[in-house]
Structure 1
Amino acid sequence: MTDTPETDLPETDLPDPDLPELPPRLALAWGVAERPERVPRRELSIERIVEAAVEIADAEGLAGVSMARVAKSLGFTTMSLYRYVTSKDDLLLLMQEVALDLEFPPAHEPADWRAELREWAVFTFELFRRHPWVLDVPVTGAPVTPASLRALDAGLRALRSTPLDDAEKIATILLLNGYVRNAAGLDRDLAQANTAGTDAAAEVGPGLADALRMLVDEVRFPYLRPIVERGTYAAYGTSTFDDEEDVGWGLERTLDGIAAYVAAREAAGGPDAGAVPGCVPEEEGVAEALALAQRYTSDAKVKKAAARRKEADKRVREAQKRVRELEKALRDSRKAEVEAVRAARERAERDR
């Protein structure tokens, strides 16, 4: 039995006539959809279907989940599932709802926004670690289901003592959630590569540092080359993903940035004081960067220069390959020369 949350989906009653009509999957998630009649001889329920699907996803990943696979695991026909869940998309949303049903730690008293946000991020990271398939569920919009909104609410609670306005608080949670999802995805991908033996750096093994010193030259990689030469990159590339060091370092730097903004907002006089002094308005900064990117990607001169750079890179690689071949030929020649001298010495000793 896999580790699934003990809480079930909401009990579903007759639809509330005062509520706007919701898509079937949202109505199921909120418990406002009418349930189908029970199967008399053997009870099948939405809860059992979702629990079985979560168990399959925990064991095999999201690719292992299908309506037929879930039905088979429960001993029912595929068509019987559609009486409860109308599509696989609906099933995925309900699975995610169960996986995200997480109890966050209680609030700190007095409030400590940084400590509480840290706990929120770490708890979310561990949720993704227990159910890594959640990272593969497509993001189709803002959170609108009970469990996802409870997670958002817990994050907003952590920011209750800050002077940030509503939009800034939500943006802060999105920023932190993006970091956590990226870290959890990296953790999962590295674990899978290690298990499958497809980690290219690990395949090279101890010789990785020497190989990179030969391949990473100062012309194409002027800023990476010194790091490779010192062996720092190879050591980092072959190290295992560490929660406290790798996740923690990035998390603390993200919190540092938030702290700087919170302090600037406090100095500015709170959420109603307008723009934060010293901070470039995000609309201006992003618009300028987008405009630059569009100019670079569409400018004919830039494209021509990029093509010349790629061609030069190709010639450099070919020249480096030729150099390595010549160096190997030189080493082989020296080895053959040493062997010839040794053989000649042995013959001379035998002839005496």
Structure 2
Amino acid sequence: MTDIEPPELPRGIALAWGVAANPQRGPKREMSVEKIVEAAVELADGEGIGAVSMAAVAARLGFTPMSLYRYVSAKDDLLLLMQEEATGLPPESHLEVEGWRARLLALYEAQILVYLRHPWILSLPISGSPITPNSSAWLDASLAALDDTPLTADERMAVALAITGHARWCGIVQAGYSEQSRSSGLSAEEVAMREASLFDRVISAEEFPALRRAIEDGVFLSPADPFRFAVERTLDGVAAYLDGLDRGEQHRVSEEWVALDAAELAGDKRLKEAQKASRDAEKALRAARKLERQALREARERVAKARKSG
């Protein structure tokens, strides 16, 4: 047993779980936390997260900003509740498919749809584990999909986080393309063609040989989904790991997180200056190598011309 008192729930999290104290005064039936959050989500969906402020939400509801603060006392709490509302619960349909892999893929696809419907979620900072009902339900669903596997608790969490990470990265890219399409008036295909054209103009075989080959192979215009390929290969790895456990191999989970050295985090001035000098030297080296390749190419062209004229 311990005498340490558990920390009090922050108000935003308490509101999400429905255990926060209600305001003692202010508009009653006309105003509620739910109505405030719904209005804020509608505002973000229509105009982006930058349009969301307590004043803007209050105006949308026909109240003063001060009346909102009686229900949601800080904008950070409002953003947390907006994310919770927009995230919603994982679809029951993922339970209709059989097997851990199929269920994780169904959850992966459903998460991407959430990001595409509410792309502003992706701009909110990640400040820790999801301690709200809906976010917890998504994590619970991913962990439950792995219930019948021999994975340890740590391993199940690692797989669940990997799938969530794949979905978030796919959502970031797809939402970015959708925003480009919306703001430019171009179709998704036209946006892809413009991007491919820009890469074609600036990427040379001498400086970026592998990327140049990829461009010439048409990767930027390919209909293939690289994110689905990546998540499938991740699940291939999990399947192979499970096969190994079935054969009696040992569990293998990394014991440590990747961490910066304390000196990196301390912001030491001399260390920063040394790092900047190192980056500048790397830039100078890249520039020198570029000049070398250019000179070599020009020399080859001169030799070829000389041979032709001779």
TM-score tier (shorter): 0.7 to 0.9
Matched, 1:102 2:93: no
* 1:133 shift after superposition: 1.1
CA contact (8 A) 2:89 2:134 kept: yes
Partner of 1:164: 151
The aligned residue for residue 310 of structure 1 is: 286
Q: Does the CA contact (< 8 Å) of 2:23 and 2:70 recur in 1? A: yes
Q: Does 1:227 align with 2:214?
A: yes
Give 2:53's aligned residue.
66
| Partner of residue 264 from structure 1, selected from 211, 227, 244 | 244
- On the 8 A contact 2:150/2:245 being kept in 1, the answer is yes
Distance 1:305 1:53, change over 3 A: closer
The equivalent of 1:50 in structure 2 is: 37
Give the corresponding residue for 1:236: 219
| Residues 1:299 and 1:22: Cα distance change in structure 2 (over 3 Å) | closer
Question: Which residue pairs with 2:130 in the alignment?
Answer: 143
Which residues in structure 2 correspond to 1:16-55 (within 5 Å)? 21-37=8-24, 39=26, 43-55=30-42
Match of 2:172 among 153, 160, 185: 185
SS in 1 for 2:210: coil
The one-letter code matched in structure 2 to 1:282 is: S
1:282 to 246, 254, 257: 254
Equivalent pair of 1:99/1:127 in contact (CA under 8 Å): yes
Q: Which runs of 5+ in 1 are unaligned?
A: 1-17, 324-352
Flag the 1:175–1:76 CA change in 2: closer, same or farther, 3 A. Answer: same
For 1:204 and 1:103, how far apart are their aligned partners in 2? 31
Task: Give the corresponding residue for 1:176.
Answer: 163
Q: Distance in 1 between matches of 2:227 and 2:137?
A: 24
Mapped partners of 1:211, 1:176: distance in 2: 30
Which of 249, 267, 270 is the matching residue for 2:229?
249
1: distance between equivalents of 2:209 and 2:27?
73
* Residue identity in the other structure for 1:183: C
Q: Displacement of 1:204 after TM fit?
A: 10
Paired residues of 2:90 and 2:107 also in contact (CA < 8 A): no
Change (3 A) 1:155 1:284: closer
Q: 1:81 aligns with which of 62, 65, 68?
A: 68
Give aligned-pair identity as a percent. Answer: 40
Secondary structure at 1:224's aligned position in 2? helix
CA contact (8 A) 1:38 1:44 kept: no
Aligned residue for 1:140, secondary structure, equals coil
C-alpha distance in structure 1 between counterparts of 2:257 and 2:123, whole Å: 31
Cα distance change of structure 1 residues 198 and 219 upon mapping to structure 2, 3 Å threshold: farther
Matched-pair contact (CA < 8 Å) for 2:45–2:118 = yes
Which structure would you say has the larger Rg?
1
Matched AA of 2:67: S
Structure 1 CA distance, aligned partners of 2:97 and 2:173?
A: 35
Q: State the alpha-carbon separation in 2 of the partners of residues 210 and 97 from structure 1.
A: 38
Q: Which moved more, 1:183-192 or 1:215-224?
A: 215-224
Query: Post-superposition shift, 1:194?
Result: 2.4
Q: 1:35 aligns to what SS in structure 2?
A: coil
The residue identity in structure 1 corresponding to 2:86 is A
Q: Distance in 2 between matches of 1:207 and 1:133?
A: 23
Moved more, 101-110 or 157-166: 101-110
Q: Is the contact between residue 111 and residue 161 of structure 1 (CA under 8 Å) also seen in structure 2?
A: no
**d(CA) in 1 for partners of 2:97 and 2:43?**
42
- Pick which of 250-259 and 160-169 moved more: 250-259
CA contact (8 A) 1:107 1:158 kept: no
Letter in 1 for 2:219: Y
Give runs of aligned pairs for residues 202-221 of structure 1, distance below 5 A: 212=200, 215-221=202-208
Task: Report the Cα distance in structure 1 between the residues aligned to 2:198 and 2:205, rounded to whole angstroms.
Answer: 15
AA partner of residue 153 (structure 1): D
| Contact 2:94 2:107 (8 Å CA) reproduced | no
Q: Deviations over 1:172-219 (max 9, x none)?
A: 1111101100000100101112232399x958958966983x754433
CA distance in 2, matches of 1:153, 1:206: 41
Task: Report if the CA contact (8 A) 1:202-1:238 is conserved.
Answer: no
Alpha-carbon distance change, 94 to 313 in structure 1, aligned in 2, over 3 angstroms: same
Three-state SS of the structure 1 residue aligned to 2:122 is helix
TM-fit CA distance, 1:263: 2.1
2:131 aligned counterpart, secondary structure: coil
Structure 2 counterpart of 1:153, from 134, 137, 140: 140
Gaps of at least 5 residues in structure 2 are 265-273, 300-310
